Chains A and B, each alone.
Chain A
Amino acid sequence: MGSSSRISLRILPTCAFALFLAHSLAAQERPYFITYNHYLEEPGTLEVSLNSTFGTQRAANRFFSYWTEFEYGVNAWWTTEFYLDGQSTIHDSTIFTGYRWENRFRPLKREHWINPVLYVEFENINGADRTLLEVVGHDTEADSAEINGDARKERKREIELKLLLSSSFKGWNLSENIIAEKNLTSSPWEFGYALGASRPLALKASAKRCNLCRENFAAGVEMYGGLGDRYRFGLKDTSHYLAPLLAWNFPSGTSLRVSPGFGLNGNSHRFLLRWSISREFSGFGSAVRRLFAERP
């Protein structure tokens, strides 16, 4: 057994025990799948989220992509997130496609009309990744048509930078993301955008405890797509999507989200259906610290 496997065998039970010690918390999950607003994870809270996208393709088989998110609030101005990605293509295969590590930083200490957050991500994925978590440059449906065996040979080590702008007004959240992505081996900088608007179905909380209260639901819409690259900036040969969404935050700490997405031009997948289930564990950081604390 390799040393990395031995380390994993030690770390996994520790994390599982820390999750057991942590309390679940009422999630206030962002309703978007692609767009980010300016709200960060609460300090010391871990959110585990299982997500999937079903996609149709004109010239290839349908696919399911999956990603697992571990989002942790380091403090009130820094959230870090680790992703594991995979994918299944019908009549082809199921493969692990890579990992991502993202960090979001809030530079301003108070709320403003427009609140900026800086986003930095490193991703190490292969060409078969179809999570479509960001659509940039000249990404099109044809990129996903390759069979997994060939697509996985392409390695993508990329840095992604985003400027997240977000405002809250009368219960609405309006978010705008500007995206720049660079493959570290070659390729020019590629650009993209994501826009989102959402609102809870009720602004006032009801006095009774309930799962089906309107305040536990949020609805919205997001739109995202590519803006070309450094040499060919613009909308030509890019793909774009419009996706309504619905989120349901249970008081018990679990959140469900679903979002059907529709391609807006011939370069886009015609239809994407995304869904996710997530759960927040507050006090995860303290629980881990207690496990490693010195005995009195």
Chain B
Amino acid sequence: MRRKRLALGCTLVLMAAGLAWAQKEKSLDSGKKAGLYAELAQAPEKARARRNPLESDPDALPAGRKLFERHCAQCHGETGEGTKKAPSLRAPEVLGATPGTLFWVMTNGVVRSGMPVWSKLPEAQRWQIVRFVKSLGPAPPVKPEPTSPPR
């Protein structure tokens, strides 16, 4: 009985320690970003070749924008420009990806890097989001910081 309690106590302590460790702030460095974009290349050929069935649906874009704001903007930014948590969706890697590739990544997530699977959304809603993401253009160029005049 005492041994069981000890084992249980150790397990609880280990899990709590794991929880604390897992919460360390992990901002995206360039290496990790490259790894996330590399996930796009993992999409199987069949998935990559899939066409967006809602491509010509006029409601797909506004509906996709609405879904993006609800589910994606928290990590990818309001306009998909990326945040500390998730990479930009306006990078050349994403702009060059096929709709099928984006759909595949959204469905499977990048679980080890922090992106959850989004198959909880029905397939049609994922295609609506893809339609919106594909409508995002490249990120506007960053304006250089104004330099202070010499005194």
Contact = CB atoms under 8 A, between A and B. Distances in A.
Interface of A: 23, 25-26, 28, 37, 39-40, 42-44, 73-78, 80, 101, 103, 106, 109-111, 122, 159, 168, 170-171, 173, 184-185, 200, 203-209, 215, 251, 282-283, 285-286, 289, 293
B85 interface: yes
Nearest to B67: A205
Contacts of B4: 184
Nearest to A290: B25
A78 B22 contact: yes
B111 A109 contact: yes
Contacts of A75: 22, 114
A204 B128 contact: yes
B114 A76 contact: yes
B119 to A, nearest CB: 5
Given A205-B63, A289-B23, A184 B8 contact: yes
B125 A204 contact: yes
Contacts of B116: 39-40, 42-43, 73, 76
Contact of B119 (A101, A111, A293): A111
B63 to A, nearest CB: 4
Contacts of A111: 107-109, 117, 119
A170 B112 CA distance: 26
Nearest to B4: A184
A106 B109 CA distance: 12
A204 B8 contact: no
Contacts, number: 107
B59 interface: yes
30 contacts: A25-B74, A28-B120, A39-B116, A39-B117, A43-B85, A74-B23, A76-B111, A80-B15, A106-B111, A109-B108, A109-B112, A111-B108, A111-B109, A122-B8, A122-B12, A168-B119, A173-B120, A184-B5, A204-B63, A204-B122, A204-B124, A205-B64, A205-B66, A205-B128, A207-B59, A207-B62, A215-B122, A215-B125, A251-B70, A293-B25
What bracket does the count of chain B residues touching chain A fall in?
35 or more
A105 to B, nearest CB: 11
Interface of B: 1, 4-5, 8, 12, 15, 19, 22-23, 25, 54, 59, 62-64, 66-67, 70-71, 74, 85, 107-117, 119-125, 128
A28 B114 contact: no
SS class of chain A's interface: helix, strand, loop or mixed?
A: loop
Contacts of A78: 22
Most central of B1, B54, B107, B114 by chain A CB within 10 Å: B114
Contacts of A25: 70, 74
SS class of chain B's interface: helix, strand, loop or mixed?
A: helix
Contact of B85 (A44, A200, A293): A44
A217 B142 CA distance: 42
A1 to B, nearest CB: 25
A77 B120 contact: no
A110 B108 contact: yes
A282 B59 contact: no
B63 A206 contact: yes
Most central of B19, B67, B119, B120 by chain A CB within 10 Å: B120
Contacts of A159: 8
Contacts of A289: 23, 25
B23 A200 contact: no
A283 B23 contact: no
A285 B111 CA distance: 18
B125 A203 contact: yes
B19 A74 contact: yes
A286 B124 CA distance: 31
Nearest to B58: A207
Contact of B122 (A37, A39, A122, A203): A203
A206 B124 CA distance: 11
Most central of B66, B67, B113, B115 by chain A CB within 10 Å: B66
